Amino acid sequence: MIIQKTENSRLPDFDPNNFSFGNTFIDHMVICEYENGKWGDVKLVPYGPIPFTPAMMGVNYGQACFEGMKAYKDKDGQVFLFRPEKNFERINKSAKRLAMPEVTEEMFLDGLKALVDIDRNWIPQGEGMSLYIRPLIFATEEALKARVANKYMFAIVATPAKSYYSEPVSVKISDHYSRAANGGVGSAKAAGNYAASFYPTQLAIEEGYEQIIWTDDATHEYFEESGTMNVFVRINDTIYTPPTSEKILDGVTRDSFIQLAKKRGIEVKIEPVAVKTVIEAQKNGTLKEVWGVGTAVVTTVFQALGYQGEKLELPKLSDEESFAAMLKKDLTDLQNNLSEDPFGWRVVVEKDVLETV
Amino acid sequence: MIIQKTENSRLPDFDPNNFSFGNTFIDHMVICEYENGKWGDVKLVPYGPIPFTPAMMGVNYGQACFEGMKAYKDKDGQVFLFRPEKNFERINKSAKRLAMPEVTEEMFLDGLKALVDIDRNWIPQGEGMSLYIRPLIFATEEALKARVANKYMFAIVATPAKSYYSEPVSVKISDHYSRAANGGVGSAKAAGNYAASFYPTQLAIEEGYEQIIWTDDATHEYFEESGTMNVFVRINDTIYTPPTSEKILDGVTRDSFIQLAKKRGIEVKIEPVAVKTVIEAQKNGTLKEVWGVGTAVVTTVFQALGYQGEKLELPKLSDEESFAAMLKKDLTDLQNNLSEDPFGWRVVVEKDVLETV
């Protein structure tokens, strides 16, 4: 790994109690370039601009995929990643589906640890605080040809993330727009999937909702995801979530929720979730909770479902009654080293790993 | 318009008889930046890099769309655009679907004319030669938040394009992969649509095909597009092409072919094209031609269709017998000012328009 430390750290100007999530960047970033059929040296360099022309293939033909993950600092200042091998596996699954070169475990995991270590002082401490980390791969070749690119960049950038309480939101069950096709790229964390979701979401917002529950594009009869999250439904005391597929992202938070629920003895059914079943359960009072899960917010609880012009209210549960709240606490306690880790999900980021590289 | 002419023209090194299409760029480009809810000045500047970090939203969340169009130089050196207003309309349709700001007619058409004019000496002359022009819009804001960006760039870049004969190719009728979902972004020239098509195309190539005929994702029973082109089928002497929809791009070449066919008195039916109908016509000998159309290659003729493991051969027609060849000549003659233009499709690029801006 080639290391070029910044000479102008922005850390003295960073106020961990008052910063903007998403556009406050830590001092460094990892970059690695792909050319002539192979990845070059991994470089840890000051965060900053790289020159690209508007002919860059990434913004012309959309070969671009990413991961979202976090690093957590416990009360003793120890820093942890959470199941980073899952993100490593998934970025390569995304890359493969987009005909992009896969990255090596060294590039991904060592790059990640080196970056988090060198900028560990940027990680805010305290409940729900974290460092949000964005590994990504995108095509950098300059060419106006609709074909697989020959040059790529793998990069890791990161921004401090605040604890934020996510208000319960109203979601519209989609009856026209969709985020994924059969035989498409729905299960990849492909850049294009996000852009495709913005306009339908804007329309839903105009109708008084905050997000969309995506349904299958052919019939709109089955739940797929909600917003940019995986979706869970609780009917009586059983949790349902759709199986992952080529249309549904294999979310790390989704998988963690399933395992944490099972550990608590909660019945979890991984099976297609029919809109009709959910609506009937709402009508007969057995629908207790519907929520989305993802790395950024962990959990967003839904207070109402929009369906065929009706806004169907969901029960307001206390934190003691809510499986969503319970599992969120189980997960964040584990992530923040406030509880045991029977799964081996936490990965310590050693100090000064760079000296040993 | 702000104009900054290059002081280091690369034109003396450009050999119009020996250059690489797609990565030979003309001296200038047009750029215009969007910020605080509005577009800034249109700038005509030397082609070259612009600094972006890997947090650029365009490569993270895929808000990026483009157009493909050409400028043609006739034997007298006059330069023409072809139906540029169609591309202007379509880029805004794409932008809207991706929740991006629309561009103004001035930015698009005046920018286009100014760029083509200033670099008119880059346009190669002769049969099939042209300048391939790429207008695009992409999100430039640096932020790790899955939301609509606040900053964008509109750009126009261009590369000289060669006359090239496109060999007939074998295409596989897709029975698993698809390029568009109902309620998705198939009709937009969205960057992500292209990336999504590369891997299935690679698999088809491994099976001995060059391209894919995309079919509807739910049943794979209807033709949608072929490769990155619209698709035409000729059974006996009638031409069929699927209607445009939210899944099928409203191609300029497609529309031009339809109008040119009608002008010749050829029957054109714009209706869903069932795979079954095409296969039956191949079996009973009434299937005469299948071809794709698009700006880059104009026409690609198919010599065989892959379906359920079989490679179904298509007749080899002479240029006199082939509707595809006939209509391609009609179109390119019109584009190159070798024939009348009853439709008013040619748009002259005046010399030294910049002096009047």
CB distance from B92 to chain A under 8 Å?
no
Within 10 A of B225 (CB to CB), how many other CB atoms are there? Answer: 25
Superfamily grouping for domain A169-316: D-amino Acid Aminotransferase, subunit A, domain 2 (3.20.10.10)
H or E segment at A253?
helix A252-263
- Strands, E, within A9-66: which ranges? 28-35, 38-39, 43-46, 50-52, 64-66
What's the pLDDT score for residue B79? 98
Spell out the SS3 assignment of chain B: CEECCCCCCCHHHCCCCCCCCCCCCCCEEEEEEEECCEECCCEEEECCCEEECCCEHHHHHCCEEECCEEEEECCCCCEEEECHHHHHHHHHHHHHHCCCCCCCHHHHHHHHHHHHHHCHHHCCCCCCCEEEEEEEEEECCECCCCCCCCCEEEEEEEEEECCCCCCCEEEEECCCCCCCCCCCCCCCCEHHHHHHHHHHHHHHHHCCCCEEEEECCCCCCEEEEECCEEEEEEECCEEEECCCECCECCCHHHHHHHHHHHHCCCEEEECCCEHHHHHHHHHCCCEEEEEEEECCCEEEEEEEEEECCEEEECCCCCCCCCHHHHHHHHHHHHHCCCCCCCCCCEEECCCCHHHHC
Region of poorest pLDDT, from B137-146, B321-330, B348-357: B348-357
Q: Report which of B135, B128, B131, B103 is spatially closest to residue B118, judged by C-alpha positions.
A: B131
Q: Do B62 and A193 touch (CB under 8 A)?
A: yes
Nearest beta carbon to residue B181 from set A59, A132, A184: A184
Distance from CA of B3 to the nearest CA of A (A): 18
Is the pLDDT assigned to residue B355 strictly greater than 90? no
Which distant-in-sequence residues (6+ apart) come within 8 Å of B285 by Cβ? none
Instruction: Express each pLDDT in A318-353 by its tens digit.
Output: 999 999 999 999 999 999 999 999 999 999 999 986
CB A244 within 8 A of CB A250: yes
CB contact under 8 A, A98 and B217: no
pLDDT value at residue A357? 47
- pLDDT the model gives residue A164: 64
Asked if the C-beta of A297 comes within 8 angstroms of chain B's C-beta atoms, the answer is no
Could you tell me if A136 lies within 8 Å of chain B, comparing CB atoms? yes
Q: Among A206, A229, A61, which Cα is nearest to B64's? A: A61
Each of the 357 residues of chain A gets a pLDDT tens digit; together they read 999 999 999 999 999 999 999 999 999 999 999 999 999 999 999 999 999 999 999 999 999 999 999 999 999 999 999 999 999 999 999 999 999 999 999 999 999 999 999 999 999 999 889 999 999 999 999 999 999 999 999 999 999 998 766 789 999 999 999 999 999 999 999 999 999 999 999 999 999 999 999 999 999 999 999 999 999 999 999 999 999 999 999 999 999 999 999 999 999 999 999 999 999 999 999 999 999 999 999 999 999 999 999 999 999 999 999 999 999 999 999 999 999 999 999 999 999 866 544
Of A54, A62, A178, the CB nearest to B192: A62
Class for domain B169-335, per CATH? Answer: alpha beta
According to the model, what pLDDT value does residue B352 have? 83
Any CB–CB contact under 8 A between A54 and chain B? yes
Is residue A35 less than 8 Å (CB to CB) from chain B?
A: no
A188 to chain B: nearest residue by CA? B196
Are residues A196 and B218, on separate chains, in Cβ contact within 8 Å? no
φ/ψ of A255, rounded to 5, equals: -65, -40
User: Does the beta carbon of A228 lie under 8 angstroms from any beta carbon of chain B?
Assistant: yes
Q: Does domain B2-164 have CATH number 3.30.470.10?
A: yes
How far away is chain B from the Cα of A65, in angstroms, using its nearest Cα? Answer: 7
Domain ranges of chain A: 2-163+346-356, 169-316
Q: What kind of fold does domain A2-163+346-356 have according to CATH?
A: D-amino Acid Aminotransferase; Chain A, domain 1 (3.30.470)
| Rounded distance between C-alpha atoms, residue B190 and residue A61, angstroms | 8
Residue B354 has pLDDT above 90, yes or no: no
What's the confidence (pLDDT) of residue A352? 83
Instruction: State whether A142 and B59 contact (CB < 8 Å).
Output: no
Contact B144 A179 (CB under 8 A): no
Element (H, E) at A326: helix A323-335
CA distance A285 to chain B (A): 31
Establish if B144 touches chain A: CB-CB under 8 angstroms: yes
**pLDDT score recorded for residue A166:** 77
Average pLDDT over residues B331-348: 97
Closest chain B residue by Cα to residue A227:
B146
Name the DSSP class of A83.
S
Mean pLDDT computed over every residue of chain B: 96
| Binary contact (A181, B183; C-beta < 8 A) | no
CA atoms within 13 A on the CB side of A314: 25
Contacts of A98 in chain B (CB under 8 A): 195-196, 198-199
pLDDT for residue B295 is more than 70 = yes
Question: Which of B183, B191, B218 faces A59 most closely, judged by CB atoms?
Answer: B191
Residue B178 scores a pLDDT above 70 = yes
pLDDT on residue A274: 98
Cross-chain CB nearest to A182 (options B66, B142, B217): B217
Greater model confidence, B126 or A163: B126
pLDDT of amino acid B357: 47
Place of tokens 């169009």: B69
Q: What value of ipTM does the predicted structure carry?
A: 0.97
Q: Do B58 and A58 touch (CB under 8 A)?
A: yes
Query: Of A25, A55, A136, which is closest to B59 when you measure between CB atoms?
Result: A136
